Structure 1
Amino acid sequence: MKAVRFTRFGGPEVLEIVDLPAPHPGPGQVRIAVHAAGVNPSDWKKRAGQLDEELPQTMGHEAAGVVDELGAGVGDVAVGDRVFGLSEEGAAQAELAVLSHYAPIPPSLDFAGAAALPAAVETATRALDQLGVGPDSTLLVNGASGSVGGAALQLAAVRGARVIGTASPANHDYLRSLGAEPVAYGDGLVERVRVLAPDGVDLALDVAGSGVLPELVDLAGGPEHVVTIADFLGARQHGVRFSSGDAGRALHVLAEIGELVESGRFSLPVVRTFPLDEVAEAHRVGENGHARGKLVLTVSRS
């Protein structure tokens, strides 16, 4: 099968499409014929050697497709079902992928739309769970126009929270469409947020990693009320919790997100799709741009 792989660290040019043996699912897993796979910032960090020193490496943690092989003990889906989910092997950008955690694709979504969901909704939900976001919360999301930020805004609103999001002015109407009150990022952020929330906010989530943790700590009344998913060093410096899957993942959201999608309470735009063999270009666009939704690779099944 064709799959994305790299044998040396570097820029997008190190990515290759190679032939690899077809994987097979273990107990509780399913294999899918991949139709679409999500692209995430962690992909280019991995490619640059920031996450794992081993070589070679495959790519991709989320995909959507059609089940074509079942692992032992799987009884909740059948061969031929449309599913989306997460690949623990990090090998979802391929013609075939094993999913360790999966759910049925919401009927209203195509494969690309479904492939955009898993990483964004799991990351956002994990952070919201860690913060304890609920109906009496005012949540500030820094970097709210990207896929994780947009997911966090909507999922917090579903919980009944008041949500404030930072983004460039060009994305403020988009944040309003997600139920958030927008503010511009940059110098003067604290003052702008206090115009909306004079006493500050209850909780803050940093998605952008843009060096604003001191401001978020100020607005939220202490580091214990702030979580970052993007600023590991800043978290250590300022006593803020850094959210990673190592402490437990919010996998419950995979089974829950379909109802929210179908009821119109959650959406995640796919900004652009690329054929699998244009993965390097997808990385360039992702690294150089400020996409407010997801980039997705597609696998031709004609």
Structure 2
Amino acid sequence: MLAIRFDRFGGPEVLNPVEVPAPIPGPGEVLISVEAAGVNFSDTHLTDGSYLGADRLPHIPGSEVVGRTPDGRRVLARVSNGYAEFAVAKESHVFDLPPDLDAGRALALMTQGLTAWHLLRTAARLSPGETVVVHSAAGGVGSLAVQLAGEFGAGRVLAQASTPEKERLALSLGADGIVAYPLGEPADIVLDAVGGPLFDRALDSLAPLGRLVTYGNAARTPFTPVDPVRLRATGTSVIGFWLRPALAAPGALGTPLKALLGLVAQGRLRPIAHRVYPLVDARRAHEDLLARETVGKLTLTVSP
């Protein structure tokens, strides 16, 4: 089968199309003929070796696919090696899709949708009426977090984005306003995947008992050490979040994913599917993602 693999850590240039044997499902697993694979920012960290729990080499990236099971079901699945014509998933990680939901929007709900859900519910523990600031609000996670924060009862949802076009998208998704630092008002919750100077500005902008949830380091710069005395003074918190351990809890994958699919079906959640690339152009997808030239979900098409 055709797959995208990297044999050494590095930038997008290490991603290469290769022919490898198709995977063989074991007990409790299902083989999926891949229609499309999702691309996530975490894939770029996996490729350059900076990802938490970096995999051994060589490696086929990709954590989510839409495809067909041997009995013909069209499904969304969480996998380990999704940039390929075939992938294997645990049966408990496979979910039937409605026929009218396209692959890009479905894929947006897996890694990015679950991340947005758990950032607000599990990590930040959003309470009704609180003010939420979402960094990278036009990105895959951010565009969903803006919508879900409102769905979960936030009093105000404020967006931070890098271009006027991305700011307009965040407003169209329900953000109440666009913010720049220093904030005009303290925030109860800030969701940050950027790190660097933006992390420090966000920490300075928290309201008493506010929570800054860090779930990435797109800036790829060292974090400034946080003085506990600084946190105690106002009762603020810095919370680290990584989706992989969060999904180990019972019901942490299936329950929210089914809820997300339900919100899409009701028209209350709009996943943004952006660019589509052929599988062999995975390198270009990573380049565009790193250049911040994209919004919403990127997908690799594998089969029609």
Query: d(CA) in 2 for partners of 1:85 and 1:236?
Result: 38
SS of structure 1 residue aligned to 2:223: helix
* 2:108 and 2:273 in contact (8 A); partners too: yes
Query: d(CA) in 2 for partners of 1:204 and 1:238?
Result: 18
- Aligned residue pairs: how many? 280
* 1:213 and 1:238 in contact (8 A); partners too: no
* Superposition deviation, residue 30 in structure 1: 2.6
TM-superposition CA deviations, 1:234-273 (whole Å, max 9, x none): 3853662221135422413221111111111111222111
Structure 1 segments unaligned to the other structure (5+ residues): 69-78
* Superposition deviation, residue 123 in structure 1: 1.1
- Corresponding residue of 1:103: 95
- Corresponding residue of 2:159: 165
* Superposition deviation, residue 2 in structure 1: 1.4
* Superposition deviation, residue 127 in structure 1: 1.1
Query: d(CA) in 2 for partners of 1:235 and 1:279?
Result: 33
SS of structure 1 residue aligned to 2:146: helix
* Superposition deviation, residue 50 in structure 1: 1.6
Query: d(CA) in 2 for partners of 1:153 and 1:29?
Result: 35
Query: d(CA) in 2 for partners of 1:295 and 1:31?
Result: 23
SS of structure 2 residue aligned to 1:225: strand
- Aligned pairs (5 A) from 1:182-193: 182-185=177-180, 189-190=181-182, 193=183
For residue 65 of structure 2, what is the amino acid of its counterpart? A
**1:272 and 2:296 matched:** no
- Corresponding residue of 1:56: 58
**1:218 and 2:216 matched:** no
**1:237 and 2:226 matched:** yes
* Superposition deviation, residue 296 in structure 1: 0.6
* Superposition deviation, residue 182 in structure 1: 2.9
For residue 274 of structure 1, what is the amino acid of its counterpart? Y
Question: Could you state the TM-score of these two structures normalised by the residue count of structure 2?
Answer: 0.84
* 2:159 and 2:178 in contact (8 A); partners too: yes
Question: Could you state the TM-score of these two structures normalised by the residue count of structure 1?
Answer: 0.85
Aligned match for 1:177, one of 147, 172, 176: 172
* CA gap 1:60/1:106 in 2 versus in 1, 3 angstroms: same
* 1:102 and 1:254 in contact (8 A); partners too: no
Aligned Cα root-mean-square deviation (Å): 2.2
Aligned match for 2:76, one of 77, 81, 84: 84
* Superposition deviation, residue 11 in structure 1: 2.6
Aligned match for 1:205, one of 191, 197, 215: 191
For residue 3 of structure 2, what is the amino acid of its counterpart? A
Query: d(CA) in 2 for partners of 1:241 and 1:222?
Result: 15
- Corresponding residue of 1:131: 124
* 2:279 and 2:302 in contact (8 A); partners too: yes
- Corresponding residue of 2:235: none
* 1:165 and 1:180 in contact (8 A); partners too: yes
SS of structure 2 residue aligned to 1:202: strand
* CA gap 1:60/1:125 in 2 versus in 1, 3 angstroms: same
Over the matched positions of the two proteins, sequence identity in percent amounts to 36
**1:261 and 2:264 matched:** yes
Structure 2 segments unaligned to the other structure (5+ residues): 229-237
